Amino acid sequence: MRGAEGQRGSEAVAAPEQRPIEPQAASQLSLLPLGPSAPLPLLDVRQRGTSFHEVPVRAILNSPASTGMGFWSLNPYVGCEFGCTYCYARDTHRYVVERLEGQGGRGAVTVPLPLGPSAPPDFERRILVKTSAAAVLQRTLFPAKLAGATLVIGTATDPYQPAERRFRLTRSLLEALLGWRGLTLGVITKSPLVLRDLALLQQLAVRHDLTVNISLASVDAPLLRRIEARSPAPHARLRALKGLTDGGIHAGLLIAPVLPGITDSRASLAAVMAAGKAAGARYAAGSALRLGSAARHRFLPHLAEEFPELVERYEQHYARRQSAQHTYTEALGRRLRALQREFGFPVGGEQQGKR
């Protein structure tokens, strides 16, 4: 289910109202905005500087054709307070912000998105909030359009990041989905906040084929803090997993991303699977790190600080590619399958856990 999310076509944002073209400029191409941009509506500002902006949307569903993946997806937020250094969704955030800036007018973001080693972590400081997500979903979701494919919530930023406590967009999407039957649904999160919606998830599981994926790259808390300092601790995620499975939800672990040379040892992966098994996980699946251009700008300088011995290998490996080399993914796949067998998990991924 989980894979290369956050592609360029995956976040549909409504076109802003355009300023009228002055008569003398009508014959010229509009290469530059004709006047100052108005900012997106500000919804909230946190003490540590994170701001939340309302963004208009005309569509919420991302098709397999637009993302290159075999499932549909939707994301109520763009950007994520967890701010994991490696996150592929940094590229989605960069693209959406650049598109808004390029449009000018009402939809523009007034501060350009900087890149580079010294750039502020804009992905986790400026969160775009799709306040109309549930209403748009109700207008645009037609089961026949999905053609039996899975619809996944949270492929390009965590749907249960701290902002969800206030905005409750993920909950509103789940409530909207109660209006249909017979869909195949998935949720991906690192947050124990998912347990807030346990009763709602139980209702959805009666009406749909539902899977909840808890993402966890390592059970080594100090190690995890070095690569995703703001994300929930491993024990909190495992407690959430147990709460879900005890509540009858089909849930398991996504060991993702697997970081070469950091979390890919057999001992590390085995420890995650053992902890997942103890928490009642129905499956444990994993995938290797992907690094798009924006993610590289954030992750590689961080790698130089925390794991300098790995920098040269990463720079060579990911210099001209986003995904790990085929030889690495094949070896990782063999290791994961062997561990799945060892711990009694279905071999291959989360969907096999329902067979």
Residues 187-215, mean pLDDT to the nearest whole number: 98
Strands 126-129 and 209-215: what pairing? unpaired
Most trustworthy range by pLDDT among 13-27, 46-60, 199-213:
199-213
- Kindly report, residue by residue over 301-333, the tens digit of the pLDDT: 999 999 999 999 998 888 778 888 889 999 999
Rounded distance between C-alpha atoms, residue 24 and residue 35, angstroms: 15
pLDDT for position 324: 86
Architecture per CATH, domain 8-13+39-354, reads as: Alpha-Beta Barrel (3.20)
Longest dimension (CA), the chain: 73
Query: What is the average pLDDT score of the chain?
Result: 83
pLDDT for position 102: 58
Q: Residue 105: name the closest of 56, 37, 22 by CA.
A: 37
Query: 32-38 long-range CB contacts below 8 Å, 24 or more apart?
Result: 33/104, 33/105, 33/108, 34/104, 35/104, 37/101, 37/104, 37/105, 37/108, 37/109, 37/110, 38/105, 38/106, 38/108
Strands 42-45 and 251-258: what pairing? unpaired
pLDDT for position 296: 85
Q: Residue 251: name the closest of 264, 235, 236, 240 by CA.
A: 240
**Residue 53: strand pairing partners:** 42, 128
CA distances from 182 to 30, 139, 143 (A): 47, 18, 9
Residue with tokens 């290998």: 313
Rounded distance between C-alpha atoms, residue 89 and residue 86, angstroms: 9
Please say if the pLDDT value at position 201 is more than 80: yes
Crossing angle, helix 198-207 and helix 234-246, to 10 degrees?
A: 50
Question: What is the reported pTM?
Answer: 0.82
E strands present in 130-271: 151-153, 184-189, 209-215, 251-258
| More confident call, 70 vs 281 | 281
Please say if the pLDDT value at position 114 is more than 70: no
Residues 158-179, mean pLDDT to the nearest whole number: 97
Rounded distance between C-alpha atoms, residue 180 and residue 183, angstroms: 7
Rounded distance between C-alpha atoms, residue 79 and residue 273, angstroms: 29
Do 171 and 164 meet the contact criterion of CB atoms below 8 Å apart? Answer: yes
- Kindly report, residue by residue over 213-263, the tens digit of the pLDDT: 999 999 999 999 999 999 999 999 999 999 999 999 999 999 999 999 999
Helix (H, G, I), strand (E, B) or coil at 316: helix
Rounded distance between C-alpha atoms, residue 236 and residue 288, angstroms: 23
**What separation, in Å, do the N-terminal and C-terminal C-alpha atoms of the chain show?**
15
| More confident call, 226 vs 115 | 226
Q: Which amino acid would we find at residue 181?
A: R
Please say if the pLDDT value at position 10 is more than 50: no
Rounded distance between C-alpha atoms, residue 164 and residue 260, angstroms: 31
Burial of 192 (0-12, 13-18, 19+ CB in 10 A): buried
Please say if the pLDDT value at position 35 is more than 60: no
Confidence of residue 50 (pLDDT cuts 50, 70, 90): confident
Opening angle at CA 163, ends 158 and 169, nearest 5: 75
Strands 51-54 and 42-45: what pairing? antiparallel
Q: Give the start-to-end residue ranges of the domains of the chain.
A: 8-13+39-354
Do 198 and 248 meet the contact criterion of CB atoms below 8 Å apart? Answer: no
Tokens of 178: 């109660």
Confidence of residue 349 (pLDDT cuts 50, 70, 90): low
Most trustworthy range by pLDDT among 70-74, 119-123, 245-249, 299-303:
245-249
Q: Residue 138: name the closest of 213, 188, 92, 74 by CA.
A: 74
| More confident call, 8 vs 188 | 188
CA atoms within a 13 Å half-sphere pointing along the CA-CB vector of 138: 11
Please say if the pLDDT value at position 142 is more than 90: yes
The secondary element (H helix, E strand) that includes residue 53 is: strand 51-54
Please say if the pLDDT value at position 274 is more than 80: yes
Residues 42-48, mean pLDDT to the nearest whole number: 77
